[in-house]
Amino acid sequence: MTRYAILANPVAGGTSIEEKLRMLRRPSKLLGCDVYGLATCSAAEFQDAARDLAGSGAIDVLVVAGGDASLDDAINAVGTSVTLGFLPFGSGNGFAYAAGLSEDPGDAAAQILAGSDHPVDLVRYNDARYGFFAGIGVEPEVIIDRSLRLAKEKPLLTLVDADRQFTSLIDPADSISKPAEGFLAYLCAALSVGLDGYQPIQATLHVDGIPHLHQNVLSMVIGTHPYYGYGLRANRHASLDSGLLHASTTYDAATKLLRIPKGLLCAAQGFLLDGNRICSAQAGREMILRTERPAALQMGGDYHETGTEFHFCVERGAIMRY
């Protein structure tokens, strides 16, 4: 008999702990397990809880109730030492779309119960962090703006100059996934960033050693599955087991062509363009991205760090049940 445990991120999705407990009653009953993690206060504590559960020898499947960043945290904590499941409690929930999981936690738990194990591809960033997608450009700014709006405290991050370079005032490792209130919060942030005059980035993407120059980059998303979150298809050719990284780049010219604000394009492109058909796309096993100025990087829908060189590889790094 398969033994399960549910590990819940207490701040994912912006709902209260009481509401999470209510929503987890059916999954907990279906899977015949307890709920852990709601007393954790940081990403480090959340990952420690994941390690403790995985290393206890008492479970076969650790089911993460949270968002994409919560799932990334669990993967980075336990690797392939235990099979993972996912209950979509976050805002974007890109993995749920990629795996065909229901938005309803109870129905998703039933899918996990009836599912099978799938080795999946991950983005390995700088040999230090694993996840399903990462990106530079306007998306990290939208994510930062959204977090500031929802947290109602400033500044979490400070703009240094007109080139919109970031200086972090917090360590992302010390805070678990930011509260979010769904697509509306993302849309408001996208409008704010779009109206604020985001300046495109000049970048060179080396794909398996071959350089590709990208001028006036509005957004570049690198991932191993098609979805960015909210059902937005950032990389329509990607799949969880292709053995490849897929990069999708949107250029500033797209906003002029479509006559919409730059930030809003990120919120609309997956719906309006059926997988970003106006964007260029590349695929390969290794990608090195260099930017002409410091750029913010997001991973799993959370701000990760700022830099000018980013190294990505594909690696079969987790076993997911769905």
The DSSP line for 112-141 is HHH--EEEEEEEEETTTEEESEEEEEHHHH
Q: What is the pLDDT of residue 178?
A: 42
Tokens linked to 292: 């002409």
Domain boundary residue, one of 70, 94, 121: 121
Q: What is the pLDDT of residue 197?
A: 65
pLDDT band with cut points at 50, 70 and 90 for residue 243: very high
Percent of the chain with pLDDT over 70: 76
Q: What is the pLDDT of residue 92?
A: 86
pLDDT tens per residue, range 165-213: 333 333 444 444 444 355 555 555 555 555 456 789 999 999 999 999 9
Domain boundary residue, one of 90, 121, 152: 121
pTM of structure: 0.81
pLDDT exceeds cutoff 90 at 266 = no
**Residue 61 belongs to domain spanning:** 4-121
The total domain count for the chain is: 2
6 residue type, one letter: I
CATH number at residue 304: 2.60.200.40
Instruction: Indicate if 58 and 133 belong to the same structural domain.
Output: no
Instruction: Indicate if 139 and 115 belong to the same structural domain.
Output: no
Rounded Cα gap, residues 148 and 158, in angstroms: 11
Q: What is the pLDDT of residue 163?
A: 36
Q: Mean pLDDT check: name the lowest of 140-144, 169-173, 220-224, 263-267.
A: 169-173
Those residues whose C-beta lies under 8 Å from the C-beta of residue 87, and which sit 6 or more positions away, are 6, 24, 27, 63, 64, 65, 66, 105, 108, 109, 112
